[in-house]
Chains A and B, each alone.
Chain A
Amino acid sequence: MPTLSIPPQSLLTLGVILFCLGLFGALTRRNIIIVLVCVELMLNAANINLVAFSRLGASPNLDGQVFALFTITVAAAEIAVGLALLLAFFRLRQSSEVKDMNQNKL
Chain B
Amino acid sequence: MAAYAWIIPLLPLVGYIFLLLLGKKAPEGFVAGVSTILVLIGLGLSLGVFSSLAGTDGAVTYTWKWLSIGSHNIDVGFQVTHLNALMLVVVSLVSTLVFLFSLGYMHKDERFSVFYQYLNLFVFSMLALVISPNLLQMYIFWEMVGLCSYLLVGFWYFKPEAALAAKKSFIVTRIGDVGLFIAIILLFASTGSFDFNTIFQAAASGKIALGFISGSGLITLTAILAFIGAVGKSAQFPLHVWLPDAMEGPTPVSALIHAATMVAAGVYLVARLYPLFELSQPALTVVAWIGGVTALLASLMALTQRDIKRVIAYSTVSQLGYMMMALGVGGYVYGVFHLMTHAFFKALLFLAAGSIIHAIDTQDLFDMGGLRKKMPITFWTFLAGALALSGIVPFAGFWSKDDILTATLKSGHPVLYLFGLIAAFCTAFYIFRVFFLTFAGKPRDEKRYEHAHEGSWVMTLPLIVLAVLATIAGFFNSPLNGNALEKYLLRDAGDAVVAGIPTTSPAYLLGHTYPANVGLMALSVAVGLAGIGLAAWRYANKNREITVPTGEGNFLYMLSYRKFYLDEIYYAIVVAPGKVLAKISDFVDRYIIDGIVVVVSRLVYVIGLGLKYTQTGQLQTYGAATMLGLFVILAIALFRQGGVF
Contact = CB atoms under 8 A, between A and B. Distances in A.
B624 A104 contact: no
A23 B631 CA distance: 12
Name the prevailing secondary structure of the B interface residues.
Answer: helix
For the side of the interface on A, what is the size category? 10 to 19
A105 interface: yes
A52 interface: no
B617 A26 contact: no
A98 B620 CA distance: 8
A17 interface: no
Interface in B588-639: 612-613, 615-620, 623-624, 627
Given A23-B627, A27-B624, A27-B627, A98 B619 contact: yes
A105 B617 CA distance: 4
A104 B617 contact: yes
A102 interface: yes
A105 B615 contact: yes
A28 B623 CA distance: 10
Given A23-B627, A27-B627, A103 B620 contact: no
Contacts of B627: 23, 27
B619 A106 contact: no
B623 A26 contact: yes
B617 A106 contact: yes
Interface in A46-76: none
B76 to A, nearest CB: 46
B615 A101 contact: no
Contact of B612 (A28, A35, A106): A106
For the side of the interface on B, what is the size category? 10 to 19
Given A23-B627, A27-B624, A27-B627, A101 B616 contact: no
B629 to A, nearest CB: 13
B620 A106 contact: no
B617 A101 contact: yes
A13 to B, nearest CB: 11
Interface in A76-104: 98-99, 101-104
A102 B615 CA distance: 10
Contacts of B619: 35, 98, 101
Contact of A102 (B618, B623, B624): B618
Interface in A17-55: 23, 26-28, 35
B620 A28 contact: yes
Counting chain B CB atoms within 10 Å of each CB, the highest count among A23, A27, A105 belongs to A27
B624 A106 contact: no
Contacts of B624: 27
A104 B617 CA distance: 6
B617 A103 contact: yes
B414 to A, nearest CB: 76
Contacts of B612: 106
Interface string B93-113: 000000000000000000000
Interface of A: 23, 26-28, 35, 98-99, 101-106
Closest 10 CB pairs of A and B: A105-B617, A102-B617, A27-B623, A27-B620, A27-B624, A98-B619, A106-B615, A101-B619, A104-B617, A98-B620
13 contacts: A26-B623, A27-B623, A27-B624, A35-B619, A35-B620, A98-B618, A99-B618, A99-B620, A101-B617, A102-B616, A102-B618, A106-B612, A106-B616
Given A99-B618, A101-B619, 7 more contacts: A27-B623, A35-B619, A98-B618, A99-B620, A102-B616, A102-B617, A106-B617
